[in-house]
Chains A and B, each alone.
Chain A
């Protein structure tokens, strides 16, 4: 088990290093970026940049100092707004994005699992077709389109919920719904298919032969095993939700990090783009690592293989 964690940890470090180095290489190679020209007229910004990126130094020194600054959680300044750093933006925007993301995951996981179980237990029944119909639509309709549809119908036409901002629970419903539907659909389909497979396993038959109640069989014996694959795709889902926040925050005018990020893309505010990308990548890569470890802990077989094998 320890060996497994160590191996995953090393891979995580290398992945982090790759993405950080990539941003550096891209930054110094962008034609017309602040690093290669004097377009930025503002003196403060110029000074900030030079101070942060050590532009007077040779590239390899720049690179090392860049690695160091990231290791100390300093993601650099902005070139469009003086006295504004990526860290400022993050401390303002990330908590909101994080809230949106966490709520979305909770909603997606709970509803997806419930939908998947219902579909599997009523295999080929009406509920199954209904649930899988919803799931296929959920996978096919991009979140930004769903978001606009929801605004159009629920907020504008019916006037049930507010359209924009992040100021009350009512404001949160539509963005979360728009963002959670896709992951929910994926989880529902996965839960259903693994659940169907698990239900044919001998140990389920054995549990039935013990005279256990259907409730116990489903929740104690089947669900545990059916949810293993769901854990493995959590990393991918997380990445999808995170990038989803970019568009959802833009559409719903939510003042989160995603909105700032998209603004920085539109303004070609390179240091903010790079800093945010590094921050988000690191966040995701660490999450991926944690998911891997969680999987190792939850599935007893992995523990054993790592201990017994190798």
Chain B
């Protein structure tokens, strides 16, 4: 007694045994809507992120990079600015894994120092952006009305300012250093974040369940933690992830036009800039390592940001 694949009857009624014609026991709840056990938002997002191979590649790379930024210089017997002119432009070897540069400095050591600076600049810029952005966008969105109007006008004006030109201008005046670069990058950088935060706050305000929870007296902190924050944090986290590579790019770019972080620091941008001439004479490694790490770090943050966007977007949740 089998039904065909599509469930079409393949027997005539006479073949069906009589004893099948009795009322079926109703199994209680069988017809009830079976609600899928809802994983928590973060677990769900994490699970989706794990499935994204490219984003995982980026994440793993960044973790390794962070570890190397911390411990890399310790592994090496050389100091970051230790010059050794007789051993200038040594190709990668057992003593110098990444070779040496024009002053005989160890590229391996300098690369991890560069990682410290690039990551520090990127993360600090993102952190400051998000802090100002949350305060500004939060107030703007929450207060609404006149306040919102004025604050948004200011944002609109700042948004129109050419970002890198303002950064250049500020650095010319302030003089390039680690702290002034971070300041310059964030002076107008927070605007994008503030816009996103404001949008999210407006969305929260519209959520019906906020109103509902108010009138039913549910503890609102719980509601906010459980329902609101996850939904609003998504775009903010994604924006942060994408701020980091753009800050790293900006830092390297500034090095190139002579506004880079000054020694004794060795940022990737400075290293790459110093090696521009060297590459023509065949000493590729001096450029290759900083260039590779700038690019791959940006790549890693970009794919991680994309992955997070897909993983955190509640609209795509099914």
Contact = CB atoms under 8 A, between A and B. Distances in A.
> Do A and B touch, yes or no (CB under 8 Å, in the complex)?
yes
B74 interface: no
B257 A140 contact: no
Given A145-B291, A239-B162, A14 B157 contact: yes
> Which residue of B162, B272, B287 has the most chain A CB atoms within 10 A of its CB atom?
B162
A285 B161 CA distance: 7
A142 to B, nearest CB: 5
A145 B272 contact: yes
B277 to A, nearest CB: 10
B165 A30 contact: no
Interface in B90-147: none
B302 A139 contact: yes
A262 B257 contact: yes
A286 to B, nearest CB: 10
Interface residues of B, number: 39
Nearest to B170: A26
A15 B160 contact: yes
B257 to A, nearest CB: 5
A156 interface: yes
Interface string B151-165: 001001110111111
B291 A149 contact: yes
Contacts of A104: none
A46 B305 CA distance: 52
A251 interface: yes
Nearest to B252: A142
A268 to B, nearest CB: 7
A250 B160 contact: no
A137 interface: yes
A295 B178 CA distance: 40
Majority DSSP secondary structure for residues of A touching B: helix
Interface size range on A against B: 35 or more
Contacts of B168: 265, 273, 277
A281 interface: yes
A30 B302 contact: no
A294 interface: no
Contact of B161 (A15, A140, A148, A261): A15
Interface stretch (A17-25, A167-175, A213-221, A223-231): A17-25
Interface string B222-257: 000000000000000000000001000100110011
A247 interface: yes
B261 interface: no
A53 interface: no
B258 interface: yes
B295 A141 contact: yes
A40 interface: no
Contact of A18 (B161, B164, B165, B298): B161
Contacts of A251: 276
B173 A30 contact: yes
A243 B163 CA distance: 10
Interface in A233-272: 239, 242-243, 246-247, 250-251, 261-262, 265-266, 268, 270
A166 interface: no
B296 interface: yes
Contacts of A151: 279-280
Given A23-B169, A281-B165, A140 B156 contact: no
A152 interface: yes
Given A22-B166, A239-B163, A281-B162, A15 B258 contact: no
A288 B295 contact: no
B294 interface: yes
Contact of B169 (A145, A148, A152, A273): A273
Given A139-B302, A145-B295, A273 B172 contact: yes
A193 to B, nearest CB: 10
B161 A142 contact: no
A148 B279 contact: yes
A11 B163 contact: no
A29 interface: yes
> Which residue of B54, B169, B272 has the most chain A CB atoms within 10 A of its CB atom?
B169
A268 B298 contact: no
Contact of A142 (B169, B173, B280, B298): B298
A12 B299 contact: no
A144 interface: yes
Given A29-B173, A142-B249, A262-B257, A285 B160 contact: yes
Contacts of A277: 165, 168-169
A140 B299 contact: yes
A285 B162 contact: yes
A94 interface: no
30 contacts: A12-B160, A14-B157, A19-B161, A22-B166, A23-B169, A30-B172, A136-B54, A140-B245, A140-B295, A140-B296, A142-B252, A142-B294, A144-B272, A145-B272, A145-B287, A145-B295, A148-B279, A148-B287, A149-B291, A151-B280, A247-B256, A262-B257, A268-B172, A270-B172, A277-B168, A280-B165, A281-B162, A284-B162, A285-B162, A288-B160
Given A141-B295, A261-B257, 15 more contacts: A12-B160, A18-B161, A136-B299, A137-B299, A142-B253, A142-B295, A144-B256, A145-B291, A239-B163, A239-B165, A243-B162, A265-B258, A280-B162, A281-B165, A284-B162
- Nearest 4 Cβ contacts at the A-B interface: A140-B299, A15-B160, A140-B298, A266-B258
